[in-house]
A and B are shown apart, each in its own frame.
Chain A
């Protein structure tokens, strides 16, 4: 199985012309839109709150766009007004866009919650110097009751077109009604950021609700009045199970605005390290799954392999978990031939060991019986909840940002996008193994293509005058399509909004838990590979 996949050739991908879609949007929506912008492979569409009905119906029903998927709804405060970001995607036309809805200025009430936020905010203001204060958004994060009612009304309008929007509602009533069984946050990484409220009849689950209040971590500093260069050192904590991806995503976004072209070697090394991180994340996933299943031998074997990959990552970047390696327009340092040689030697060993780990885990009939026909996600459900990444591919839909969006230099490299069939837990585990083989295949090709040319290390941005501007960039991280929305001015970041894939998997988990047994809860949630760091945000309002 591994050999067949390893030697397979993938047919060339469909080319997308974003310019054509941009023109069509301008033609059909005319004066209903305030502004339209193209940033890299993404489109940002500015609209007013009045026109939301017209625009959504046009986007959904017009065959030129046919936008079927709503990925997430994020709220963020800006300098003059507050905004709502809808991340939308079209599978049939192969494009994605960000809909930016202007909510206007929200009146400030003297609510207790608001005052608390203000106090926290004034603390962080006092620690900044006078020069930086200009770049802070003085409109604060407001969670007053009036605003939440208004927010829920908007969500209801969106849910006429996209049914999964209802999940983004602020619903405190649901939390109290579902409480036959409460499972508090666990110890294992990926199961520690939620409390699960379950309503059950005997051993069958009727309703499940995941409460994320334990992950609401106060994070004022990271998102405002910070320089690009300072942000790059800490941005990897936004997805610490695969730390390189937020860095790459951020750098692609800024390079796109400033129109910086990176050399071929820089892109190749970025791809190489991101594939190494993908392998390490997938192996850790297998370790976690085997821990849940009780297969201790596989858990230990997987940790040995992960350690090998982590040591190579440490050799290249200097850190095992948080790399801090990518720079705007370049890299932290060049990779010497000796370093590349160690990877070449280790790759063969990793390939053989992972193959034997797969046979050990999945040729065991007791384990496959535990995984088979549990937590099934249909194609329709996957599209309805806007899943992405390996979880989507395990349902049988071939969609990968690396191929479909021309990310970095993936178009020059031949690799296969593995697809599952039934969308159950077994498929989800199998697809991770297959992706590891493909990543090894990609790395082998990259090692043959890297040349001796020197690498540009970094660019200086002292005293650069950049006008106020916004961009989006997306990468394929191990959990799915990872997006970052940015607002820049001069050398400072005004707003940074990560739009992350694990939220969709979480909402999907709430649905597929209905009808399954109580004993399978932890297995189903662990098989979806939720990353706990993606939920540390102040931008979600539910």
Chain B
């Protein structure tokens, strides 16, 4: 019980199209059960504290990502999930997301893997809760 009162409850919004999304959704289920740490998935960016960026991002997706980031309530954090965002895109080696957006978005946590396991995603969120 102590946990619920001390740690902050977090809402997550997921963007992008990619295979990491399957593993992120798997954390909702009863086996991993991310909600025991006070973490929720929301479908409106206005409700969210954390923005999760994953997968392949098109030029329209980039524009939409920035509008979503601006509509998040402060304070806000960003987690970059998967090889395509952390390093270079799998389908196009020259596209490097982090280099392109390093002045616009400040990424708090990098989660490598292709795709990362659900345990890794939960571990990343717990680390972030310690930071908060």
Q: Which residues of A contact B (CB under 8 A)?
A: 120, 123-124, 127, 184, 186-189, 192-193, 213-222, 234, 237, 240-241, 243, 284, 299-300, 303-304, 306-307, 320-322, 532-533, 536
Contact = CB atoms under 8 A, between A and B. Distances in A.
A322 B23 CA distance: 12
A536 B21 contact: no
B63 to A, nearest CB: 10
A397 B100 CA distance: 50
B23 A532 contact: no
Contacts of B64: 184, 214
B94 A192 contact: no
A127 B88 CA distance: 13
5 contacts: A127-B94, A217-B57, A217-B58, A299-B29, A321-B19
Nearest to A240: B19
B58 A307 contact: no
Interface string B33-45: 0000000010100
Interface in B1-26: 13-14, 17-19, 21-23, 25-26
A221 B17 contact: no
Interface of B: 13-14, 17-19, 21-23, 25-26, 28-31, 41, 43, 56-61, 64, 89-95, 114-115, 117
A214 B58 contact: yes
A303 B29 contact: yes
A303 B19 CA distance: 16
A221 to B, nearest CB: 5
A240 B16 CA distance: 14
B31 A218 contact: no
Nearest to A214: B60
Given A217-B91, A300-B29, A304-B30, A189 B21 contact: yes
Given A213-B58, A214-B61, A214-B64, A240 B22 contact: yes
B75 to A, nearest CB: 22
A533 B22 CA distance: 12
A92 B107 CA distance: 57
Best-buried of A214, A300, A306 by chain B (most CB within 10 Å): A214
A215 B58 contact: yes
A279 to B, nearest CB: 15
A100 B92 CA distance: 27
Contacts of B59: 216, 218
Nearest to B115: A321
B17 A241 contact: no
Given A215-B58, A217-B57, A189 B29 contact: no
A76 to B, nearest CB: 16
Contacts of A237: 19, 90-91
B92 A218 contact: yes
Given A215-B17, A320-B23, A322-B114, A304 B94 contact: no
A134 B109 CA distance: 41
B92 A221 contact: yes
A219 B92 contact: yes
Contacts, number: 98
A189 B22 contact: yes
A304 B29 contact: yes
Contacts of A241: 22
A120 B94 contact: yes
B90 A321 contact: no
Given A213-B60, A304-B30, A221 B19 contact: no
Contact of B22 (A187, A217, A300, A321): A321
Contacts of B25: 188-189
Contacts of B90: 222, 234, 237
Contacts of B18: 240
B17 A193 contact: yes
Nearest to B95: A218
Contact of A322 (B19, B21, B31): B19
A221 B58 contact: no
Q: Which 4 A-B pairs have the closest CB atoms?
A: A303-B29, A219-B91, A240-B19, A217-B56
A363 B18 CA distance: 34
A224 to B, nearest CB: 12
Contact of A303 (B26, B89, B114): B26
Contacts of B95: 218
Contacts of B28: 303
Contacts of B21: 189, 192
B91 A127 contact: no
A237 B52 CA distance: 20
Contacts of B13: 187
Given A222-B92, A322-B115, 20 more contacts: A188-B25, A189-B21, A189-B25, A192-B21, A213-B58, A218-B59, A220-B91, A221-B92, A234-B90, A234-B91, A237-B90, A243-B19, A299-B29, A303-B28, A304-B31, A306-B26, A307-B29, A307-B31, A321-B115, A533-B17
A270 B40 CA distance: 38
Nearest to A311: B31
A222 B91 contact: yes
A329 B39 CA distance: 46
B13 to A, nearest CB: 7
A284 B26 CA distance: 10
Nearest to B30: A300
Contacts of A303: 26, 28-31
Given A217-B56, A307-B31, A536 B91 contact: yes
A43 B56 CA distance: 34
Given A220-B92, A221-B91, A300-B29, A187 B58 contact: no
A533 B84 CA distance: 14
Best-buried of B17, B90, B114, B117 by chain A (most CB within 10 Å): B17
Contacts of B58: 213-218
B19 A124 contact: no
Given A214-B64, A215-B17, A321-B23, A124 B93 contact: yes
Contacts of B92: 124, 217-222
Contacts of A300: 29-30
